[in-house]
Structure 1
Amino acid sequence: MTTPLTDPETLVLQTLSSDSGADVQHRFVQIDGLRIHYAEAGAGEPLILLHGWPQHWWEWRHLLGPLAQRYRVICPDLRGLGWSEGRARGYTFERLARDLIDLMDHLKVRRARIVGRDWGLVVGYRACLNWPDRFEQFVAMAGVHPWTADGIRPAVFLRPWHVYLLASRGNSRRLQDWLTKRSLHAWRHRGRFGADEIEVYQQRMRTPAAYTATAEFNRNVVLHEVPHFLQHYRLLRLQVPTLHLNGAQDPLSEGIPHSYRDYTDAMRLETIPDCGHFAPEEQPEWLTTRLLTFFG
């Protein structure tokens, strides 16, 4: 079921859409009993873009115009973030991946290309591992791959210290507000977010749903996902053709091993030059060209 936008939502989302250079439509659907928002532009074969933390669909604004010339581009807000509803539970990689599949089913998208950054990366990997027949190609950005434990260096798991802090003290809204702003400053290498851009993200991070999503996602990573992948990574086989991109100056993804080669059918690990954690906003032209080349 599709639900309409309210007047305040329409005004804000239309204003943000004007930055994309594309005719962006905004809609809400019911998934797992939650009102989930997605932005859509263009026509053709479906291309799904999954954002990271602490952001939402708007992080793709510089890519929407050129990508929408070739694809039906769909940018959902992950549950609890952006304009999507959340609840106290449901932030496992498995459930977030199921949200994606449910959205595809609602939109009658049988098979799609997918790009996932940060939180979107883990959702994309889990979805491609679980439902390889649903995905044509996958581009992962700004994070580790599922086989990082093979050939791991301890620093790889120590650099994202914010994950452990949020897992242990995530109920502190003051802490979350500070980390949200700090991440947007500290993890960007090329250029800087303006005060208005930071407020666009922080405003949606100051909702009860976003506070809960942030705390629960990171608790799940520490308590369940990391132990699970450390124990079971040898059993995982990725069949979907995949390009994994990390910024050359991304403080969260330095030193990722090439151990994936033993567990994937067709995957490449590459770096984005002169780039930190926020490639869609630091290197939008480079990234657009690389995506279109990979998609062929």
Structure 2
Amino acid sequence: MGLAGIALGDWRAQGRGLLFRGQRIRYWVAGQGAPLLLIHGFPTASWDWHYLWQPLAERYQVIACDMLGFGYSDKPLGHDYRLLEQADLQQALLAHLGIEGPVHVLAHDYGDSVAQELLARHHEGRFQMASCVFLNGGLFPETHRPVLVQKLLLSPIGFLVARGFSRRKLAANFAKVFGPHSQPSEAELDDFWSLIAEQNGPRVMHRLIRYMPERRQQRDRWVVAMQRGDVPLRVIDGAVDPISGAHMVARYRQLVPEADCVLLEDIGHYPQTEAPGEVLRHYFDFRAGVD
């Protein structure tokens, strides 16, 4: 399935603005029908979904924002970035759009953790989730294998590592986590880097990375939420991802009853850009059994 995608400049022009706790947030909305919330990963932004955006918008109302500290949204220095606050942001965006009923969620990486928090809130009566699909992400702290730069960002010298982060280092790290036959092009790397570099974004990367210990703090609550079984779930995972590939899916199958998992062979950490047609096909298949 050949998908054209959306040029980054066109994507930026389609964005809208929202004020969240005094911070400017950029968000996107398209299509009609059941609301589908797309939640991006670290360290990129909602443009990650650009290959899937239009095909999804032909069936659903698709909604996405650059979370606080990412992409074209504000990146306040000294902010205590938290996954729980990012979940608050998703709920604030839905409220801003007047969406009150059940919401479908498609998430990736860091966004998986935000989706897990929303799933837990669903069971606590604070959110209505209709379904959730997770792409590669650290659903379980015990299977998450961060790359070296992530470990360094979390270390006492993290602020120095963040200041020195560059397009060259981004390219080197992406080469390790993308599949062998689905590496990003130089143009894609330029666009990914521009999103990170916006508003001098590297200066906050060592603060954003604190999601890793936060995942450990919330681990049991989030796992229990996935085990409840009353919200349809699926994992679509790039199998050769060294961070959260086939080894993470094996753990998911151990812990989640009647686990619904799809492994994409030879695909790495970014299946929505490496194999967007496959992701779309498996997502539509999932929704056919839910709707």
Task: Tell me which interval the TM-score lies in, with the shorter structure as reference length.
Answer: 0.7 to 0.9
Shift of residue 233 of structure 1?
A: 4.9
Q: In the alignment, which of 152, 157, 161 is matched to residue 165 of structure 1?
A: 152
- Closer/same/farther in 2, CA of residues 164 and 294 from structure 1, 3 Å limit: same
Q: Look up the match of 2:32.
A: 43
2:136 to 142, 151, 155: 142
Q: Tell me if structure 1 keeps the 8 A contact 2:106–2:133.
A: yes
Q: Secondary structure at the match of 1:291?
A: helix
Name the SS for the 1:55 alignment partner: coil
Matched, 1:76 2:65: yes
Q: CA deviation at 1:264?
A: 5.1
Contact 2:145 2:242 in 1 (8 A): no
Instruction: Report SS of the residue matched to 2:209.
Output: helix
TM-score norm. by structure 1 comes to: 0.81
1:107 aligns with 2:94: no
Question: Partner of 1:89: helix, strand, or coil?
Answer: coil
Structure 2 unaligned segments of length 5 or more: list them.
Answer: 1-5
| RMSD of aligned residue pairs (Cα, Å) | 2.7
1:288 and 1:33, CA in 2 relative to 1: closer, same or farther beyond 3 A? Answer: same
Hey, what does 1:32 align to over in structure 2? 21
Cα shift readout 1:155-177 (whole Å, capped 9, x = no counterpart): x3445433221111331245322
Q: 1:203 aligns with which of 194, 210, 214?
A: 194
2:224 aligned to which of 213, 221, 236: 236
Could you tell me whether the CA contact under 8 Å between 1:80 and 1:209 is conserved in 2? no
Identify the match of residue 175 of structure 1 among 150, 164, 179: 164
- Asked if the contact 2:71/2:198 (under 8 Å) is kept, the reply is no
Q: How many residue pairs were aligned?
A: 270
Once the two structures are superposed, residues 82-124 of structure 1 have per-residue CA deviations (whole angstroms, 9 ceiling, x without a partner) of 1111323242221111111111111111221111111111111
Structure 1 regions of 5+ residues with no counterpart?
1-13, 150-155
Distance 1:248 1:83, change over 3 A: same
1:136 is aligned with what amino acid?
A
Deviations 1:153-203 (A, max 9, x none): xxx344543322111133124532254232322211132222222111212
Quote the sequence identity (%).
23
Query: Equivalents in 1 of 2:198, 2:54: separation in Å?
Result: 29
> For structure 1, which segment, 195-204 or 237-246, has the greater mean C-alpha deviation from structure 2 after superposition?
237-246
1:247-258 alignment, distance < 5 Å: 247-254=238-245, 255-256=247-248, 258=250
Kindly indicate whether the alpha-carbon contact (under 8 Å) linking 2:35 and 2:104 is maintained by their aligned counterparts in 1: yes
Q: What CA deviation, in whole Å up to 9, does each residue of 1:129-155 have, x standing for no partner?
A: 123442111111112324x54xxxxxx
What is the DSSP-based 3-state SS (H/G/I as helix, E as strand, rest coil) of the residue aligned with 1:256?
helix
**1:265 Cα deviation from its structure 2 partner:** 6.8
Match of 1:6 in 2: none
Q: Could you tell me whether the CA contact under 8 Å between 1:112 and 1:135 is conserved in 2?
A: yes
